Structure 1
Amino acid sequence: MLKPFLRQPNSSLFTTSKLALMVFFSLTLSACGKPEVKVKPPAPAVSVYSVKAQAIGGYREFVARTEPFKEAALRARVEGELIARHFREGSNVEQGQILLQIDPAAYKAALSAAKADLSSRISGEENAKRNLKRANELISDGYISQSDYDRLTTEESQARSAVKAAAASLEKAELDLSYTTIKAPFSGRIGKVNYNIGNIVGPTSNPLATLIISDPIYVSFQVEESFYISYLQKNQGARTGNEGEFELSLRLPNNSTYQEKGKFDFADTKISQGMGTVELRTVFPNPRDIILPGLFVTLIVETRDKEEMALIPQAAVQQNQQGKFVLIVGKDNRVKLRHVVLGRRINAMWVVEKGVAIGEQVIVAGLQKVRPGVEVNGVKKQVNPLTGTITDFNDKATNSAKANDVNISPNAAVDK
């Protein structure tokens, strides 16, 4: 009863579906059996710097302190009230210029008394001389005794001595009066006044003010006794330095380089027993009074005989447990790790004593992308030797000239 309601399958439709399914499985099996093609990633790009050479001399730095070329503490040599000041603190004064005035009234009176006393003593001497002259005429005739003659001789001698004493007192009174006027012993710059007008000052008082000469200015420093002895042996006992052998410069506390050059001036005659050092002194021009006495500075001593040495940017230097190292891109474009021995630091550059050759390419940027043995694409960059800024060679806005070709002054902002 149900057979009339059942539909028989279409043989042609069944065949077509079967063929489509077989083709699908065939393509799937074919795709699974074919090997996958791998695409090689491009080499990472890194910035490299071509190592250049520069003439660098032997070099040492010393902590030094500046001292005035000449210094005078102005003191009161007589006691009295300070009544006048004739200068502005911190200004320049000329030799012989009146600086301070102590009340001279008492010393003027003492001078007048000394003059009167001298006049009286001179009169007494003249009278004693006359009496002795008459005695010389009378003693031969026996009109005066020998004892009277001896007395007159003594009086004449005492009167003469009294005149000399009065003259000395007058000279002292004149000196005391002159000491009430304090003058500049030399031309220089005067500092702060320690006593105001109206104060009583005297020989036991502290200095009234200090006068200095700071152009030129001394720079003193100390060296180890072993270094000093070696220097003397090398230079046949020359104690203050060979002017043609060393170049002296200063780095100021703000890390700027002082423009003037110095020269050796003095070496102490003994070794400090407590420190085992020798004090040396240099002298520098100071025409603009930039350097003040008492300033701590860094004295840079460099030999004039220089040697070509490699310089690399600070950005290229890294450190591990074995020490400082750089990454170099070889001719095969692969990265190599190279440990280096560094010398002095000149602005943004390090002097390399050992480990890097002139012309090698050191990586300065992109260090985090690579490791030793990896192939890289090195892009040459220029580095500003003063600031360490890394730029392209065509970036004229940042550097007007190629930093690779800039000659770095060894005395410009130098650090160890």
Structure 2
Amino acid sequence: MSSKIFAKSLVTAAVIVSLMLLFVLSGCSPGAPTPAEVPKVTVITVQPQSQALTTELTGRTQAFLVAEIRPQVGGIVQQRLFVEGAEVKAGQGLYQLDAASYKAALAEAQATLAKDRATLKSAQATATRDAQLVKIDAISQQDNEDAQASLLTAQAEVQVAQAGVETARINLAYTRIVSPIAGRIETSTVTPGALVVADQDTALTTVQQLDPIYVDVTQSTSELLRLKRDLASGALQGTAADEAPISLKLDDGSTYAHAGRLKFSGVSVSQGTGTVTLRAEFPNPERLLLPGMYVRAVLEQARDEQAILVPQRAVNRSASGVTSALVVVDGKVEQRVLTIDRAVGNQWWVSAGLGAGDQLIVEGGQKVRVGAAVLAQNSASGSRSRTPQVAPSALAQEG
């Protein structure tokens, strides 16, 4: 009898415990999330930073100096004095023309000068003598004036002869064609035995100085006007022209090893293309850059000291083109509409929509909705951020 009473007591106790557990569970709404159910997201704290405003522009390389070699006197080419494609120095001989006729012309001019000097000496003696005789009325005044005029004529003829000698000497020197600049020489368009004439249209060869080298790039007027507006509003700080760094990207995608400097910016707009020309100068000791190469120049034109840069993975773009991001405010998800200025590597440069201190969701945003409570963790340390969180007790009260 006692065993039956003991078994009945156990059943009664089990029923009472079940009822109590059911009562406790029924005190909270079935839809209320428990702390274990609150989604976790990874955030970063938005911090302004100094960011250079760079512009990537297309351009082509230009030789620093270019000299097209043309003869200044005519004659037969006797020798070519250079190796095609080699480096030549300023004043180095390139061609030798037949100089026989020019040597003869110089000798003739020197003989004419000697004759005119002899005539001048005689005229000087006559003029001196007649100047004394006219004082004692030994000759007429007319004879004295004629002698003085002859002296002046003889002096002029000597000057003409001296100029003729100098001209003949210059022409003789021109038979040896030299390079006016130092640089790399191209192929020759003539061979020994060819007849060349003074100032002919076809150049004998071309010498180009490649170190340093110019890079001419063009910038659209719309980009230029936008830059000037930002500078005028104070949103950007200008960079001095003589301090503006500029780098190159080569046609194969590699970056050129040497930095350049901006030489000048054009003051007029091309009517055909609507662009302004910028010229930069780059060192080229390895002769890697050759005239006419296609390059892309990256030019720093201004700097924003309060730039907002965020990872591209944290930004969403809707089908309608609206760009937005999710942030955590007081432990809840909030959506911000962003204005994107440009891409900087794998980041977006945000001009509106985010500010310093905002907690931007970079991971876990796909699992949450706007207005939902979340637990935010800092992406750098993995620990919870200092953003105010929703306590478990508050969650229970919401239920």
Shorter chain as normaliser: what TM range? 0.5 to 0.7
Q: Deviations along 1:82-139, whole A, 9 cap, x unmatched? A: 2212211221112222122222111111101000000000001101111222222322
Deviation at 1:234, TM superposition (A): 7.5
Alpha-carbon contact 2:77-2:192 (below 8 Å) kept: yes
- CA separation of 1:339 and 1:232: change in aligned 2, threshold 3 A: closer
Corresponding residue of 2:265: 267
Which residue, out of 192, 197, 200, partners 1:197? 192
More deviation, 166-175/250-259: 250-259
TM-score by length of 2: 0.64
- CA separation of 1:132 and 1:55: change in aligned 2, threshold 3 A: closer
Which residue, out of 288, 292, 295, partners 2:293? 295
Alpha-carbon contact 1:99-1:183 (below 8 Å) kept: yes
Corresponding residue of 2:253: 255
- CA separation of 1:233 and 1:170: change in aligned 2, threshold 3 A: farther
More deviation, 150-159/121-130: 150-159
Note the residue ranges of structure 2 that are not aligned, 5 or more in a row.
1-41, 329-334, 370-399
Alignment of 1:114-193 (within 5 A): 114-193=109-188
Match status 1:221 vs 2:217: yes
* Paired amino acid for 2:158: V
Q: Deviations along 1:27-66, whole A, 9 cap, x unmatched? A: xxxxxxxxxxxxxxxxxxxxxx999999753232212222
Alpha-carbon contact 1:61-1:300 (below 8 Å) kept: yes
- CA separation of 1:115 and 1:239: change in aligned 2, threshold 3 A: farther
Alpha-carbon contact 1:228-1:278 (below 8 Å) kept: no
**In 2, Cα distance between equivalents of 1:114 and 1:240:** 62
- CA separation of 1:72 and 1:342: change in aligned 2, threshold 3 A: same
Alpha-carbon contact 2:242-2:263 (below 8 Å) kept: no
Deviation at 1:312, TM superposition (A): 4.3
**In 2, Cα distance between equivalents of 1:123 and 1:231:** 80
More deviation, 272-281/255-264: 272-281
**In 2, Cα distance between equivalents of 1:234 and 1:264:** 24
Alignment of 1:294-333 (within 5 A): 294-302=292-300, 303=302, 307=307, 309-312=309-312, 321-323=319-321
Name the SS of the counterpart of 2:59 in structure 1: strand
Alpha-carbon contact 1:128-1:152 (below 8 Å) kept: yes
Name the SS of the counterpart of 2:52 in structure 1: strand
TM-score by length of 1: 0.61
Name the SS of the counterpart of 2:106 in structure 1: helix
Deviation at 1:338, TM superposition (A): 11
Match status 1:285 vs 2:280: no
Match status 1:81 vs 2:64: no
More deviation, 131-140/338-347: 338-347
**In 2, Cα distance between equivalents of 1:242 and 1:345:** 24
Alpha-carbon contact 2:308-2:349 (below 8 Å) kept: no
Corresponding residue of 2:205: 209
**In 1, Cα distance between equivalents of 2:323 and 2:44:** 15
**In 2, Cα distance between equivalents of 1:281 and 1:232:** 21
Name the SS of the counterpart of 1:140 in structure 2: helix
Equivalent residues, number: 308
Deviation at 1:359, TM superposition (A): 7.4
- CA separation of 1:116 and 1:207: change in aligned 2, threshold 3 A: same
* Paired amino acid for 1:150: E
**In 2, Cα distance between equivalents of 1:198 and 1:257:** 47
Q: Deviations along 1:318-342, whole A, 9 cap, x unmatched? A: 99853599999x9xxxxxx999877
Name the SS of the counterpart of 1:289 in structure 2: coil
Alpha-carbon contact 1:241-1:264 (below 8 Å) kept: no
Q: What value does the CA root-mean-square deviation take over the aligned residues?
A: 4.1
**In 1, Cα distance between equivalents of 2:211 and 2:124:** 60
Name the SS of the counterpart of 1:136 in structure 2: helix
Runs of 4+ in 1 over 6 A off after TM superposition: 49-55, 316-320, 324-328, 337-343, 354-359, 370-373
Note the residue ranges of structure 1 that are not aligned, 5 or more in a row.
1-48, 331-336, 364-369, 374-416
Identity %: 30
**In 1, Cα distance between equivalents of 2:59 and 2:210:** 16
**In 2, Cα distance between equivalents of 1:219 and 1:198:** 39
More deviation, 111-120/295-304: 295-304
- CA separation of 1:346 and 1:308: change in aligned 2, threshold 3 A: closer
Alpha-carbon contact 2:184-2:208 (below 8 Å) kept: yes
Name the SS of the counterpart of 1:166 in structure 2: helix
Corresponding residue of 1:68: 63
**In 1, Cα distance between equivalents of 2:242 and 2:43:** 36
Q: Deviations along 1:291-333, whole A, 9 cap, x unmatched? A: 11222211112355574523448xx9999853599999x9xxx
**In 2, Cα distance between equivalents of 1:145 and 1:68:** 72
Name the SS of the counterpart of 2:136 in structure 1: coil
